[in-house]
Structure 1
Amino acid sequence: MNKVLLLAKQLWQFLRRPSAKLSVGLILVVGFVSAFILHGTYSATMKYTSTLEFCSSCHTNDVVPEYQESVHFSNASGVQADCASCHLPKEFLPKMTRKIQASREVFAHFTGKVDTPEKFEAHRREMAEREWARMEANDSQECRNCHTQESMELSEQSLLAVKNHTAAEKNGETCIQCHKGIAHKLPDMTGVPGWE
């Protein structure tokens, strides 16, 4: 028993005053293990909070059903753009910025600001305009991750679409300027020029 107590006392003294070589090694090991755990937790959190399952946990009765009726959810090619494809940039800093902005939206849901379909509708235009402004500011990057002007098969488009896409490219317009409401119902646009 005395040996055990002596070993415990020596271990305690070692941990309180480790030698210079071991303290650097111990710090490196603890730092590496901590970084590994934090990175794994961060990656799992980022992945999960970018899934349709996560988004639909709050948006069950509003935008998810609209999205599920859109061509972005189901189409002849079988390619599906999920929520993150349109609402989350792929680049690290823009993605982190958007995740921080999205935490405001999660907070609004849990504090009751938009937790019912009626409350959501009351704020739909404000939220849509904020998202449209973000997409205009980044030249509809999320759209362009899948759709490129160069790969558009103009011969397969209607004459009006060809005319509009050609003019938009020439005038430096961005996708969201014309394609609002492509995956979600438009808010009440009363009073907005061009929407009457």
Structure 2
Amino acid sequence: MSDQSKTSAPKPRARRVTWLILSAGILIGILFWGGFNTAMEATNTEQFCISCHEMKVNVYQEYTDTIHYTNRTGVRATCPDCHVPKDWVHKIVRKIQASNELYHHFKGDVDTPEKFEAQRIRLAQNVWRTMKATDSRECRNCHDFESMNYNKQESRSSQSHQDAEDAGLTCIDCHKGIAHQLPMEYDPEQDAPGQSIFYSVRD
């Protein structure tokens, strides 16, 4: 074997160091990803959502009086079911957007029922706008036109759902206020003329 081939061949020690660095990188990556995912899921629970005073004394109390909280089947839709996307990319985007909510939490912008009520219409419109833009994506995790059996619905609901499907409407077009009170300033006729179903915990 020539001197040149001896020097060009990787030494056993260099190979071991390379494998150690590579293995350490993989292990650190797994630990980081596991920690990141654990943190994501910990912030994706109802208990985390209502750990903020603003949520617990306002919208959470309203939600406990709705069919999404308690019903004949025992299936509960929690805060993240309706407000956090399930797929990873959209979930990350939503978590980043939530940092703005933390800013207002620490600033105390809605820390009393009076302050919250003053902002309710703006906050509700933000959520409605997002739901409209995503074709009520989170609602459709449980509800979907294709899965509905119109024959088992009450006649009014059945007809309204069929009309909504034909018109290309999405859940939030007709079901504002289904889990939280509608703002006092909200006018359903001005928002969606001709739509007759508006469920609200105020009704």
Which TM-score applies when normalising by structure 1?
0.83
Question: Aligned to 2:61, which of 65, 71, 85?
Answer: 65
Relative distance call for 1:33 and 1:97 in structure 2 (3 A) is same
- Who is 1:13 aligned against? none
Q: Indicate the residue corresponding to 2:43 in structure 1.
A: 49
User: Are the aligned partners of 1:140 and 1:176 in contact in 2 as well (CA < 8 Å)?
Assistant: yes
Question: After the TM superposition, which residues 13-162 of structure 1 pair with which residues of structure 2 at under 5 Å, given as runs?
Answer: 20-58=14-52, 59-162=55-158
Paired letter, 1:175: C
Quote the residue 1:169 is aligned against: 165
Deviations 1:58-77 (A, max 9, x none): 11101111111111110001
Relative distance call for 1:71 and 1:191 in structure 2 (3 A) is closer
Secondary structure of 2:146's counterpart equals coil
Query: What does the per-residue CA deviation read over 1:17-60, in whole Å, with 9 as the maximum and x for residues that have no partner?
Result: xx632432232122122112211211111111110100010111
Residue deviations 1:91-110 (CA, integer Å, cap 9, x gap): 11111111111121122111
Deviation at 1:119, TM superposition (A): 1.7
Contact 2:173 2:192 in 1 (8 A): no
What is the identity percentage for the equivalent residue pairs of Structure 1 and Structure 2?
44
Task: Kindly report the root-mean-square deviation, in angstroms, between the aligned alpha carbons of the 2 structures.
Answer: 1.9
Amino acid at match of 1:48: A
Gaps (5+ residues) in structure 2? 1-12, 194-203
User: Could you tell me how far 1:194 is from its partner in structure 2?
Assistant: 4.5
Between the two proteins, the alignment pairs up a number of residues equal to 178
1:155 deviates by: 3.1
How far apart in 1 are the matches of 2:119 and 2:192? Answer: 18
Query: Residues 114 and 20 from structure 1, CA distance in 2 versus in 1: closer, same or farther, beyond 3 angstroms?
Result: farther
Say which SS state the counterpart of residue 81 (structure 1) adopts. Answer: coil
TM-score normalised by structure 2 residue count: 0.81
- In the alignment, the residues of structure 1 paired with residue 41 and residue 91 of structure 2 have an alpha-carbon distance, to the nearest angstrom, of 12
Return the alpha-carbon distance in structure 1 between the equivalents of residues 184 and 93 of structure 2.
28
